[in-house]
Amino acid sequence: MSSKIWLRVKLPEKELAALQEEFSYCEFQQSDDTGLDPQWLAQVDGVFTEEAVPDELVQRMTSLQWLHVTRGGVNVYLTPTVKARPIHVTGSKGIHGTVFSEFALASIFMLAKKLPQCIEAQREKKWQTLQPMEVEGKTVGIVGLGTVGNELAGKAKALGMRVIATRRTATAKPDYVDELGTPEFLPRLLEQSDYVVLLLASVPSTFNIIGEKELRLMKPSAYLINLTGGRALEEKLLVRALKEKWFAGAVLDAFERQPLPEDSELWCLPNVIITPRIAGITSQKWPTVLPVFKENLRRFIAGEPLNNLVDKNLGY
């Protein structure tokens, strides 16, 4: 009996045809939530999805054994039914290092070279003399030295920056990192960094990990760049810190509430740059995502251990 796989993604025709040819022994259906026959839905073995699957829909997939997602962070996909049943959850961890690290570097350069001020002066047709800063010699503190953090660390080191970082568990320090510690190292990282980059998994253990005590440790001249940990600190606290200038400013691509509501004060703060959750978006989406899915699909059918298998208790 062939495996029934629901493609809850919008694959381009060429990629879909290639997938069907390569796995001709699988029964694929590409559809949104309303386009599936209820009887077929109850027989689905695996789902490939971009967005979280509503729990009510998971409950109807009584044969579901495997859920694979296009993203590296999977906590939002762990609905009560997914957690309660023996459903394997796998993510696309490891494919977003390039885009996130490039975005972090773009943020650092944008801040160091005063580009937001240049753009504002241009709007006002004002010839304004500014004082750009060198990136070389500055310290970048990476909170969460995972796949993305390691790519950023290597690139920052190549630019002549001092790199310090934290990660959840103690491991050997890479050559391109000057200091590495567990979460207990966070206060020292905040005190020393000119740019603090949050690259945390969005899981309960990281929620509100940065409070008032931590933010007040930052240099008045430092910048906060939050690319993944939307709930690492409370919005109300962040607004207060930015208004009172505990540190110089922030680039924010991850938020406690997403999309960021129109009534958020963050929109109006002059020392904040807001980007609409684009740090992880790539122009080469399917060439990077599909190979991860295909390899796990092969393993799933063969009964082999899956790559990027999620610990549902930890959330990653």
The tokens of 219 are what?
């240099």
CA-wise closest residue to 67 among 84, 53, 80: 53
CA distance 256 to 249: 18
* 107-152 residue pLDDT tens: 999 999 999 999 999 999 999 999 999 999 999 999 999 999 999 9
Cα 198 off chain centre by? 10
Write the single-letter amino acid at 213: K
CATH class of segment(s) 97-274: alpha beta
| 8 A C-beta contact, residue 42 and residue 63 | yes
* 218-253 residue pLDDT tens: 999 999 999 987 899 999 999 999 999 999 999 999
Write the single-letter amino acid at 27: E
State the maximum Cα–Cα separation within the chain, in Å, rounded to a whole number.
Answer: 71
Residues 6+ apart with CB under 8 A from 105: 152, 155, 156, 159
**Would you list the domain boundaries of the chain?**
4-94+283-302, 97-274
What is the fold, at CATH topology level, of the domain defined by 4-94+283-302? Rossmann fold (3.40.50)
Q: How confident is the model at residue 315 (pLDDT cuts 50, 70, 90)?
A: confident
| 8 A C-beta contact, residue 312 and residue 83 | yes
The pLDDT of residue 150 is 97
| 8 A C-beta contact, residue 50 and residue 9 | yes
Tell me the whole-structure pTM to 2 decimals.
0.91
Q: How confident is the model at residue 1 (pLDDT cuts 50, 70, 90)?
A: low
CA distance 235 to 230: 9
Report in angstroms the alpha-carbon separations of 92 from 200, 259, 270.
16, 23, 36
* 44-68 residue pLDDT tens: 999 999 999 999 999 999 999 999 9
The number of residues making up the chain comes to 316
The pLDDT of residue 211 is 97
For 87-111, b/e burial (b = at least 16 CB within 10 A) is bbbbbbbebbbebbbebbbebbebb
4-94+283-302 and 97-274 agree in CATH topology: yes
Mean pLDDT rounded to a whole number for the chain: 96
What angle, 0 to 180 degrees and rounded to 10, lies between the N-to-C axes of helices 147-158 and 97-112?
A: 50
